[in-house]
Amino acid sequence: MSSELNFNYQRIAQAILYIRDHFRQQPDLETIAAQVHLSPFHFQRLFKEWAGVSPKKFMQYLSVEYAKRLLSKDDHPTLFDTAHHTGLSGTGRLHDLFVTIEAMTPGEFKNQGASLNINYSVADTPFGQVLMASTDKGLCHIAFIEDVLEGLQVLQLRFPKAFLSEKRDSIHEQALSIFDLTGQAPSNLKLHLQGTDFQLKVWEALLKVPFAKLATYKSIAAKISQPSASRAVGTAIGANPVAYLIPCHRVIQASGVIGGYMWGPTRKAAIIGWEAAQHSRIED
């Protein structure tokens, strides 16, 4: 049975889907609340508990104009400068600084995980349930899921010869701390990933996109010194095996349109808006 956190996210996601599809009409509070079968009062309270801002403010964060303003700021500060400026040093908001990628060996890749023992567990986050998995070297998988069995099937397909054990280990706990605004950032969290050299470069570049900021496929291609490879970058981003920790949700189209996401465009909009809301609250 889903927890209250997950249940609330499902209702918020339904509201965000409506907001995203009807943004140009600027729906009022009563109209949005009706979509999730709540009174305006209860919906406003639930939404502010989840996002920290009103639905109206959240709509602004999902607008194309807001996205364009972020994308026009080519002078992104370093993560250290961002932490200092916003008072975020040492908190989970700047997890990127503490995450490193270790590639699986060619043998591990070729053997489809035959030599790997993988722990997995399921947890609730502000954006729905996730299934996490780790080897003794680090986190190898995070995916948002709607069904645990289907999520396990995806994991098994990625590592068909690995031995899977249901166990929440310290690596999982480290990864989950990123969703806690009051918690500490993961301490030197390692990701143990299988991917091509190109994919690994793209994923490393994604880790450098600051919290609540946005990038384009073209800008990521430029970051890895392959400016003409925007399409290939998009493919590598789509193959990201670690949801949220590797922030592929922060990459949008140059037009300001949010675009697709492996775990659903509504969830991507929810994450982008939520990050913008948290960043705004901290700056205020």
Which residues does the annotation mark as catalytic?
A: 248
> What would you report as the CA-atom Rg of the chain, rounded to the nearest whole angstrom?
19
CA distance 206 to 190: 15
Residue 266 backbone zone (phi > 0: left; psi -120 to 50: alpha; other: beta): alpha
- What burial class does residue 57 get, using C-beta atoms within 10 Å of its C-beta: 0-12 exposed, 13-18 middle, 19+ buried? middle
* Beta-carbon contacts of residue 224 (< 8 Å; ≥ 6 apart): 198, 201, 202, 205, 233
Helix ranges, 138-196 (H): 148-158, 170-176
